[in-house]
Structure 1
Amino acid sequence: MTTRSGQGRGRTDPGLDAIMSERRRLIGLAYRLLGSLAEAEDAVQETYTRWYAMSRQQQDAIESPGAWLTTVASRICLNLLGSARARRETYVGDWIPEPLPERTGWISGRPDGAPADPADRVTLDESLSLAFLVVLESMTPAERVAFILHDVFRHPFAEVAEIVGRSPAACRQLASSARRRIRVARPSATPTAQRAGVVRAFMQAWEAKDIDALVRLLDPDAKATADGGGLAITFLEPIEGGEQIARAWIELARHRPDDMTFHERTVNGQPGLVAQQNGAIVTVFAFQIEGDRIQRIWVVRNPDKLRPWTAD
């Protein structure tokens, strides 16, 4: 933490400018670190609680409030990641990161109005995809924090080292290890419009109960994973194989309630689907697509994870 001497004479109140302007970026950071918007908001709230627990003199001694907030938020997330692993061992079924609806530009990681370098924009957008977040779940907490802070938010390894509690060289190795894992989750070069077309065709074939069309749209080695968290009915074990998934989806179509409708929506920046019933979104479907085939389907039915969708 960097400080300055003196009482901050002439500075505006950081509680009215620099401090609160960091909130969106902090939530964007914490969401990528934790995979949960609810936990991210809690982590950021705790960060601000610690800031306002300091005296004004202590606050004025901090040269960069934004850097201080980032350090504290990252350390809180690092601690939460350690305990999250234990909690998820008792989770009912598979744990999938919380999906985000389209209107989440505020989680881009940049303050409002801040110009974006094209390279940064690509990295930030990629880091929101559900495929990306799922791979992050396979990393150690230290790998995840080092990678997100350095590769996504462009913090130098010297700063990352202070947060993680390791040497810059060790943090460089952590990020390198994470980078190798993440390569497989990079978004497809398939244009967004083409991916959206695949999702639309999947929805139409599903509604028509056309198993042959579904099989053609699914990669032979496709995999479907669901997250109900014990709070909603869904399949507990992943379904592997395009034909097996197609048969399972046909079975779902046969038992679909009359008041349930499907809609194309953007899920974590990628083309996806939602199921709506009685005006409420009850399921979110995210896809990983390569060319004209679906490789992965993530089904989120845990109502606690659908909170960001309730205002749609």
Structure 2
Amino acid sequence: MTNDPSEAGDDFLARQFEAHRGRLRAVAYRMLGSTAEADDAVQEAWLRLGRSGAGQIDNLAGWLTTVVGRICLDMLRSRRSRAEEPLDDTPLPAGGAGPEQDALLADSVGVALLVVLDTLTPAERLAFVLHDLFGVPFEEVAAIVGRSPAAARQLASRARRRVQGAPEPEADLALQRQIVDAFLSAAREGDFDGLLRVLDPDVVARTESGVSAGARTVASGAMTYARFGPEGTAALIDGVPGVAVLSEGRPVRALSFTFVRDRIAVIDIALTPERVAALHIEVQ
């Protein structure tokens, strides 16, 4: 089997894999802190998919996430046993993201967060990244690390306490508000290119039911916000510029943003009354 999915004989399988590549790369980068190692992990997942008999896989997205998680866990353990530092990020080969997008990807995680993640054990890092950043259930995390779901939950909890102590970069609220206004305007007008201009190339969008990654995927989802019309408005969500969707003047949905320079890197979407009620929302 070819190493390049774009040249594979099984075009259908290659297309399926490519549809998940952005998310897998984001998972691997947050696990490993290196774009070169992340791409190696994703490439290895492709090779394993080709050897697996893909027709027997019911949930390809879950299977690929599990495989990438296991590959990254092995790489972290190997690195730790040799007392190695993570590889410095270098420009990707032709067809990769390139140095400019590499820098944005690194910023979307945050130098402070990467430093903290490097202090965690491999199992803690995997549990935190997969569950807290990508919404993977603890039952699936437990299968990867070879522990019970309760133990996986404890791993993520310990990691979370460490991460919450990481320093936050200074926020430019005025710039963030401009980005939110541009996001809302583009979503309302169905301006796909306008959405791409305010989204990080590796943006992650999370809801209670799942995670999507990559600017084009997230922008396609954001186009549905056009139906909110005037009910979608700029707001401060826990003190950070975001979007609130109102019904009879009360917030019923909320989009919380994490910003990198002049881009949106993470969108947390609260859809249930319980999650919305837990947020401090000030409509602008």
TM (norm. structure 2) is: 0.51
Q: Give the superposition deviation at 1:171.
A: 0.6
Q: Which residue of the other structure, out of 76, 81, 100, is the alignment partner of 1:81?
A: 76
Determine which structure has more spread, i.e. the larger CA radius of gyration.
1
Percent identity for Structure 1 against Structure 2: 47
**Maintained 8 Å contact 1:26/1:73:** yes
1:60 Cα deviation from its structure 2 partner: 1.1
The residue that corresponds to 1:59 in the other structure is: 54
Tell me how far 1:105 sits from its aligned partner. Answer: 9.8
Asked if structure 1 preserves the Cα contact closer than 8 Å seen for 2:37 and 2:87, the reply is: no
Q: Which amino acid aligns with 2:76?
A: L
1:24 maps onto 2:19 in alignment: no
* Structure 1 residue 186 displacement after superposition: 5.0
Q: Partner letter of residue 134 of structure 1?
A: V
Look up the match of 2:134: 153
The aligned amino acid for 1:38 is A
Unaligned runs of 5+ in 2: 1-9, 92-98, 176-258, 263-284
Does 2:10 align with 1:15? Answer: no
The one-letter amino acid paired with 1:87 is: R
**Contact kept? 1:27, 1:107, Cα under 8 Å:** no
Q: Residue 96 of structure 1 contacts residue 134 of structure 1 at CA under 8 Å; is this kept in 2?
A: no
Residues 249-290 of structure 1 deviation map (CA, whole Å, 9 limit, x = unaligned): xxxxxxxxxxxxxxxxxxx9459xxxxxxxxxxxxxxxxxxx
Can you give the 5+ residue segments of structure 1 that lack an aligned partner in the other structure?
1-11, 109-124, 195-267, 272-312
- From 116, 126, 130, the counterpart of 1:135: 116
- CA gap of 1:105–1:135, structure 2 versus 1, over 3 A, is closer
Equivalent residues of 1:157, 1:171 under 8 A apart: yes
Aligned partner of 1:301 in structure 2 is none
Structure 1 position 35 matched with structure 2 position 33 = yes
Report matched runs for 1:90-109 at 5 Å: 98=89, 102-104=100-102
Amino acid at match of 1:46: E
Q: How many Å apart are 1:84 and its aligned residue? A: 0.8
* Distance in 2, Cα, partners of 1:24 & 1:178: 25
Counterpart secondary structure, 1:53: helix
For 2:153, which of 150, 161, 172 is the aligned residue? 172
- What's the RMSD between the two structures over aligned residues? 3.3
Residues in 2 aligned to 1:64 and 1:163: alpha-carbon distance in whole angstroms: 16
Shift of 1:103: 2.6
Please tell me whether the aligned partners of residues 104 and 260 of structure 2 are also in contact (alpha carbons under 8 angstroms). Answer: no
Separation in 2, partners of 1:96, 1:76: 16
Question: Could you tell me which amino acid in structure 1 is paired with residue 128 of structure 2?
Answer: F
- List per-residue Cα deviations over 1:137-161 (Å, max 9, x = no partner): 0000000000000000011111111
- Find the aligned partners of 1:134 and 1:104 in 2 and give their Cα distance: 17
CA-CA distance at 1:192 after TM superposition? 6.7
Question: How far off its partner does 1:85 sit?
Answer: 1.5
Give deviations 1:150-209, integer Å, cap 9, x for gaps.
Answer: 000011111111111111100110000000100122523532779xxxxxxxxxxxxxxx
Aligned residues of 2:127 and 2:156 also touching (Cα < 8 A): yes
- Counterparts of residues 1-312 of structure 1 (less than 5 Å): 14-54=12-52, 58-89=53-84, 98=89, 102-104=100-102, 128-185=109-166, 187-188=168-169, 190-191=171-172, 269=260
Asked if 2 retains the 8 angstrom alpha-carbon contact of 1:97 and 1:134, the reply is: no
Query: Are the aligned partners of 1:74 and 1:163 in contact in 2 as well (CA < 8 Å)?
Result: yes
Check 1:85–1:140 CA distance in 2 against 1; reply closer, same or farther (3 A cut). same
**2:36–2:90 CA contact under 8 A, matched in 1:** no
Which shows bigger deviation, 95-104 or 61-70?
95-104
Offset from partner CA, 1:42-100 (integer Å, 9 cap, x none): 1111110011123xxx31111111111111110010011011113345x6xxx686489
SS in 2 for 1:185: coil
